[in-house]
Structures are given as structure tokens and as C-alpha cells.
Amino acid sequence: MPTNRQWILRRRPTGEIGPEDLELIETQTPELKDGEVLVRTIYLSLDPTNRIWMSDQDQYLPPVEIGDVMRGGVIGVVEQSRSPDLQVGQIVNPGLGGWQDYTVLPAAMARPSLQIPGVPLTAYMSVLGATGLTAWFGLMDIGKPQPGETVVVSAAAGAVGSIVGQLAKLKGCRVIGIAGSPEKCRWLTQELGFDAAIDYRNEDVGAALDRHAPNGIDVDFENVGGEIMDAVLARMNNFGRVALCGMISTYNIDGPIPGP
């Protein structure tokens, strides 16, 4: 069986992640049991939620335990199989296979990946995967955008935010993105079709929102939290909707997270 490189959580980060929090080790992959498969990682998704999983606070999934392989979404290929349901060479999604070269798991837990001609595998880790689903359901089910409404997206140049903005444009909305550099803002407006973009590092977000959304905001797709969220919430119209997807500005805070 092949040698497996694994990133192990050694301690819970205090503030930003440091080199002492994770350790790269090598182990031998175990022999397969009946019904199991060995999956080699092809692509691994690194997401803001990785930081949440490292903490011991209450969350939507149990935290990664100290000494365990760091959790992460994976697309891989079946290298060995002792199951009639999966064949060697099949492309699969082994769930949260983690930060490692190989994953051994029951075949029932390895979902065969869609393979559409002309669509790269990376798309199933982004726009056609959990990222795209988060954007779609967060905007459509919670935000419920209507033609002519104003939608604000924070962390708009990120994986989820960039998809949200494009979906909102397809719904006929005015879309304002908030991002962290002039280059990101140009990408939003010139490449993705956002109506306006605010560089929060170099301009006052509240004043910029007043300029770009003089009639208020109908939908806030919130990825950042903190002062940016406060500025948006203060300008929400009556019966506006807030899709709270994430609060990345608070992920490295120790202690209670401040509210609006």
C-alpha cells in the first residue's frame, strides 16, 4: 500500500493559523477490507470554513479533533477497490476526505463524480459543487431577488460571492460587490458584470453604498460580517432579506463574536 502524506491538526489556533497548529506526517495506507476503496486525491478544496472546523466552538459540523487529519472537500480517483460498486479509475467525491494524498473509505461513501464533456473536474469543486450550491440556494431561497432590486455581496471576489453576483444579474438586479483591492473591483465590474464595486480597503463603505445604492438595499448576501455588515444593514430597505453565508472577519477572533 502507498505512503500517505497527511496534514494533522496538532493544536487549536489562537487567532490566525500558525505553523505550530498543523503538522505534515507520512503514514502507510491500511489494507483494504471488503467493501472499501482507496481513493487518490486529485483536487482538494481549501475554504474559509477550514478555520471554523479547527476551533472547538459549536458549529454545523463537529470540530476536527486534535491529532486527526484536517478536514476538506476532495475529488479523487479510485486506485484500488474491493467493492463491486466502484471500479479502479473511476472519478469520485469521497466527501470530506481531508488534507491527504489517499483516503480509505467504504465504497458507499464515495459518490461517483459527474463527468460532462468539456467541463473540467475543478468545476465540481466550485461552480458545480458545494460552492455553487451555496450561492444558488442562499440567494434564491433566502435572498429571493426580484428584477430591479439592489443586491449587495460582500467578499464578492471570492468563490461564493462571485457566483452570487452573476446569478443576481441574471435575475435582473442591480448588483454591488464589496472586495479588497482595485484589481478585484475591476474584475467584478469588467469581467463579471457587477454594476458597481467598492474597495473596502481604500474607501468608506457606508459612503460608497450611499452613492451606489441611493434607494437602499433589498438583498444582502453576507460573507464578511463586522463593520462591513453593519454598514450594509444600516441601509436595508423595509422587508429586505439577509442571506448570512459567512462572517470571515470574525473567524480568527478569540472569545465572543461581536454582533451588529
Superfamily classification of domain 132-250: NAD(P)-binding Rossmann-like Domain (3.40.50.720)
Q: Which residues of the chain have pLDDT under 70?
A: 252-260
Start-to-end C-alpha separation, the chain: 52
Delimit the domains of the chain by residue range.
3-113, 132-250
Of 79, 53, 47, nearest in space to 66 by CA: 53
Rounded distance, CA 166 to CA 194, Å?
7
CATH code, 3-113: 3.90.180.10
pLDDT single digits (tens) 62-93: 999 999 999 999 999 999 999 999 999 999 99
Q: What DSSP string describes 205-248?
A: HHHHHHHH-TT-EEEEEESS-HHHHHHHHTTEEEEEEEEE---G
